[in-house]
Amino acid sequence: MFSKILVANRGEIACRVIKTAQRMGIKTVAVYSDADHDALHVEMADEAVHIGPAAAAESYLVADKIIEACKQTGAEAVHPGYGFLSERASFPEALAKEGIVWIGPNPHAIEAMGDKIESKKFANDANVSTVPGHLGVIETPEHAVRIAEAIGYPVMIKASAGGGGKGMRIAWNAGEVEDGYTRSKSEAASSFGDDRVFIEKFIENPRHIEIQVLGDKHGNAIYLGERECSIQRRNQKVIEEAPSPLLDEETRRKMGEQALALARAVNYDSAGTVEFVAGQDKSFYFLEMNTRLQVEHPVTELITGIDLVEQMIRVAAGETLSLSQDDVKLEGWAVESRIYAEDPYRSFLPSIGRLVRYQPPEESDDGRVTVRNDTGVVEGSEISMFYDPMIAKLITHAPTRAEAIDAMSTALDAFYVDGIQHNVPFLTALMNHPRWRSGDLATSFIADEYPDGFFPAIPDEEAYSVLASVALSMGALQRERLDHLPGRLRPHSGSIREDWVIKLDKTYIPIRLVAGFPGTPVELDVAIGEGPSFTVEADWAPGEALWSGRVGTRDVTVQVRPVKGGYRLDWQGFSVIATVMTPRIAELDQLMPEKLPPDTSKMLLCPMPGLVVSIAVAEGQEVKAGEQLAVVEAMKMENVLRAERDCTVTAVKATPGDSLAVDAVIMEFS
């Protein structure tokens, strides 16, 4: 076994690999760029080596710098994680020349399977069913249109070296093919250093299901069940689960055997994933093979009890697989939510900045429910524009799918992040979505259910009751404490007002304090309007970020953020501003004029912090609705900004190459 390995990655996956290596008694070496000098993976490793500027193309993607770091530290092997150099066959070949072991599949397998064009040809030769498409390299937008029309719309344009949803576009007509071809090539070149793209038929209403395979260097290979990854946004996975609610044992076996046939054909000798697009009728077609560890590997680990990183390390060291196919048992259900630095209320645009507050739920395993948080950040870490926007992966495991989803919903309520925008409210809402809970999934799920984007859920009667009760318990306790601070002129006499009004955004909720006295722990009997009373209990004290307790018979965890005159409460996808008022103040408050936001309808604002790639119009130019105005790049994704209506450009305030803050004015219209 190795005594020291280098982890050629950053963030969450670098921390994940380091944890297993430490458990195995192996010393670890981290590498870091200028942007990551204070990163968690650097702190966790035994040693760390600086490898260059923040841009990945000048640091994490430079193989020579990784090799030099190995020589400098005496690392015997390299684990690449995912992304960066993990699927470049030239990297393990270069390592081998230096006598350094590659913790991953052999270069031949990477070359055959890692390239999406070549892998489809290989799958055809191995009699694996594939999606109809054109596997040759496409030279021009016009060529792309001819191919798409021959295949039949809709089509998927994909980067050959792509992954993570980058370099992928769905096109429904010739115009979208031309634009998608240009964008996919550009994204592929900047993200992977390879601008080749191909086109295949897009299967409508499909599901994305993948099989985890594991092989060694002695000809043994097994599959570890499947993962359902159909909840995607812009081809980027958001929620994964294992097993899939679609598959039965027979379909699982057929998919597993096809995946193994493909793996054996290239002598696959590490952890890898064979991805399939599946129809609702359980038909399936080979999509691609990822010759690396997947982001969503934890759900497989939790249902099988197998540490995939450990298996990769042992296989790379020459050990024989200690498991046979009969040893693989799927126990319970696991769900993973990807916590992204993005604003769900602004079309999920990237968000960067410092994590002023980062308080994930506690990891736990009570023998029935497991909560796991794979992360690469701590409070105070900076989310950079140079890398992927993922903050963490929250995973829950329970005996049944419903219990795993409930555990995830509870854990998300306790995932407290401030300083940047994030998708926790969206994930929480998804966990409570009836269609998700029923297992009726498709890759179009988010587009189908949120066609106009995501907005804070409007509380129903139960939610209003819970949030009003929590707000009253906090407001009464804070007033009690303020009244008895030293130096107060008139502390109250001891009697507590019974009638209150809780303003939740623009809704006024009458509430009565029936019994109890404000204090810590909280224990009050309250009633909404003239309804029956119920008990509110919690250990909350002013200043704490989470209110965790019971409202009636329901366990509740509410995120609390102080705002002027009250609190912002976040719970179960609901987000409201709560203000505790006396009935008279509530009457007067309803008479106050509403302050309206400024009119920005005649401006194009930068929707996220990013780099201006191009400006497509000039001052004085007339543009039509839908016409391209500018392209802004953020976190390795190019975002095309289009005109929402017919108008004339009166001023252009930005130029290509500018780095803009969110809401910076790019141009003005008349």
Helix-helix angle 107-114:90-97, to 10 degrees:
170
Torsion of CA 56, 62, 66, 72, to 10 degrees: -110
HSE-CB for 152 with a 13 A CA cutoff: 4
Separation between Cα atoms, residue 459 and residue 576, nearest integer Å: 9
φ/ψ of 527, rounded to 5, equals: -145, 140
Q: Which run of H or of E encompasses 112? A: helix 107-114
- The backbone region for 188, taken as left when phi is positive above 0, alpha when psi lies in -120 to 50, beta otherwise, is alpha
Residue with token string 């209150």: 500
Active-site entry in 111, 288, 296, 342: 288
Q: Taking every pair of C-alpha atoms in the chain, what is the biggest distance, in angstroms?
A: 87
Beta strands 390-398; 370-375: pairing state: antiparallel
CA angle 471, 476, 479 (to 5 degrees): 120
CB atoms within 10 A of CB 19: 15
CB 4 within 8 A of CB 30: no
d(CA 175, CA 435): 33
Phi–psi pair at 226, nearest 5 degrees: -120, 165
288 carries an active-site annotation: yes
Distance CA 141, CA 438 (A): 41
Retrieve residue 95's tokens. 């390592």
CA–CA gap between residue 97 and residue 264 (Å, rounded) = 26
| d(C-alpha 613, C-alpha 57), whole Å | 17
| Strand ranges for 110-261 from DSSP E | 133-134, 155-163, 166-171, 197-201, 207-215, 221-233, 236-242
Kindly give, in sequence order, each residue whose CB lies less than 8 Å from that of residue 429, ignoring residues fewer than 6 positions away. 454, 457, 572, 573
Contact (Cβ atoms closer than 8 angstroms) between residue 666 and residue 612: yes
Contacts of 417 (CB under 8 A, 6+ apart): 339, 355, 357, 358, 359, 391, 424
Which of 231, 228, 425 lies closest to 345, judged by CA?
A: 425
- Give the active site residues: 288
